[in-house]
Structure 1
């Protein structure tokens, strides 16, 4: 960009910022802003920069021979617009990093509560509060964490998933708290039904919404290769949509065939591993072939 070229040729001419700014009759801070692409000089000053650095204006602006006849003022306006978009994106990235930091801090706080708090009920409440705050931050900043090209339907899917996650975790923590306090009790059969209902509901819910989730880094099948490539992300989530119903039916058939709670738990873990593993492996092969 223009600022990078000014810096490059200033260094090639062995000028300091103070020396070049003196030649241009501007303060050093102004030259620093140009070199850092925070602003652009006007047409008259750009010509002075060109003469001082002994570099054609077309070279400073990265113009091709066909573009050398364009109006200099219009070209600077275009560069200024590009810089404004770039600076806006940098501000957006900085804000997103701050919000991610808050979510990471709350996650770490939840982990420390689990380690340090002995009272199970108090631990559940504090962990629930940390999770709820994390999900609230995520929900309020979905557009910030997502690409600007996310459609209305995709954003709606993100919001639905985020709300579902919040409600599910709150209900789960509430049930665990009530069980811990012995306010409610469940028979062995009721525990089995609850476990199968939770896994089946999760499989079907995320299977229905996964193909609609846009490419981003906070909600979905976040594997090292899916978050690095949009095509890989889309493939993995389409596969989840395809396998969710048959896998749920197979899971229920296997779970109903046994009565031991430990076996049902093992079947549930295997089903979850398949739910993640099948799209994970297929998308990994796709990613590997695409880039190797």
Structure 2
């Protein structure tokens, strides 16, 4: 790259950035920007740099052909400027996305600390739910940035619907928890189990419906170490979730009506719901990347 070539030629000549800047009638920061790849010199200035460092313009541009006319140099620099602009834009988007990820992680960490340390149940539920809700809203507002899907509206739409569903379930859970703690509503053990059963079934059915439509992303879906590494493995796992969700809900309902151990049944269904797609996708991923070794 031109920035590395300028820096290398300058050091080989034994000239400092400040000395080169003085000879070119520019400030040292301008030379520093060239060498960091933040900007490129104009064609006339590049010719001066080549003369001062006793190298050819082609060497600085890292090209083989003989095109050292001002017009050709200007065209090459214009091309480099376009590449530099795209690179800087990608870097800016990456930094912006990292800030959003950091904020989401911070809110998640605060919600965890709140749940562990705040003794008042109502305050703990409100603060924890508020942090998680804020994190979900930030995710919703920045889905295109965080997933880098900007042109496929269908996929963005799927992610938005999924995130909105998550927000709705979170709000519902927080409201029920607060109302229960304040004794505004009183749930018996039986009614509480049926409420949990209903919510769990709705979640499983919704996820089963939406999973086959989810795009390959590290933010929403079955984020296992192998599913986030390979897009084909990702889609296999989520298609499997779509296939087993309805049968598992029917099994869940039947078992809940006949077996008197709601917690064990719920745990078993959740483990099957995650475990079956996880195991099948892992076997596929392992065969795909390790069977030939």
Shorter-chain TM band: 0.7 to 0.9
- What's 1:2 paired with? 2
Q: Distance in 1 between matches of 2:211 and 2:282?
A: 17
Decide whether the 8 Å contact of 2:24 with 2:45 is kept in 1: yes
- What TM-score does the superposition give when structure 1 sets the normalisation length? 0.86
* Structure 2 gap ranges (5+): none
Q: Distance in 1 between matches of 2:50 and 2:269?
A: 69
* Structure 1 gap ranges (5+): none
Q: Deviations over 1:61-80 (max 9, x none)?
A: 23354988992222211110
Between 10-19 and 30-39, report the one with greater CA deviation.
10-19
In the TM superposition, residue 11 of structure 1 has moved relative to its aligned partner by 2.9
- What's 1:33 paired with? 33
Cα-Cα RMSD: 2.9
Q: Distance in 1 between matches of 2:243 and 2:262?
A: 29
Residue pairs, 1:240-279, within 5 angstroms: 240-274=241-275, 277-278=278-279
Q: Does 1:104 align with 2:105?
A: yes
Q: Distance in 2 between matches of 1:264 and 1:244?
A: 15
In the TM superposition, residue 279 of structure 1 has moved relative to its aligned partner by 5.4
Q: Distance in 2 between matches of 1:252 and 1:141?
A: 37
Decide whether the 8 Å contact of 2:50 with 2:60 is kept in 1: yes
Report SS of the residue matched to 1:208.
helix
Decide whether the 8 Å contact of 1:147 with 1:215 is kept in 2: no
Q: Which has the higher contact order (CA 8 A, sep 6+)?
A: 1
Decide whether the 8 Å contact of 1:226 with 1:233 is kept in 2: yes
Q: Distance in 2 between matches of 1:226 and 1:66?
A: 49
Q: Does 1:22 align with 2:22?
A: yes
Q: Distance in 1 between matches of 2:278 and 2:243?
A: 14
- What TM-score does the superposition give when structure 2 sets the normalisation length? 0.86
Decide whether the 8 Å contact of 1:254 with 1:267 is kept in 2: no
Between 217-226 and 246-255, report the one with greater CA deviation.
246-255
- What's 1:204 paired with? 205
Residue pairs, 1:214-225, within 5 angstroms: 214-225=215-226
Residue pairs, 1:167-182, within 5 angstroms: 167-182=168-183
Q: Distance in 2 between matches of 1:179 and 1:157?
A: 33
- What's 1:115 paired with? 116
Between 102-111 and 141-150, report the one with greater CA deviation.
141-150
- For residues 225 and 266 of structure 1, do their structure 2 counterparts lie closer, same or farther at Cα, with a shift above 3 Å needed? closer
Stretches of 4+ aligned residues off by more than 6 angstroms:
66-70
Q: Deviations over 1:238-274 (max 9, x none)?
A: 3333443344444444444423223323323423442
Q: Distance in 1 between matches of 2:6 and 2:82?
A: 18
Report SS of the residue matched to 1:239.
helix
Between 51-60 and 162-171, report the one with greater CA deviation.
51-60
- What's 2:129 paired with? 128
- What's 1:139 paired with? 140
- What's 1:42 paired with? 42
Q: Distance in 1 between matches of 2:244 and 2:63?
A: 51
- For residues 286 and 61 of structure 1, do their structure 2 counterparts lie closer, same or farther at Cα, with a shift above 3 Å needed? farther
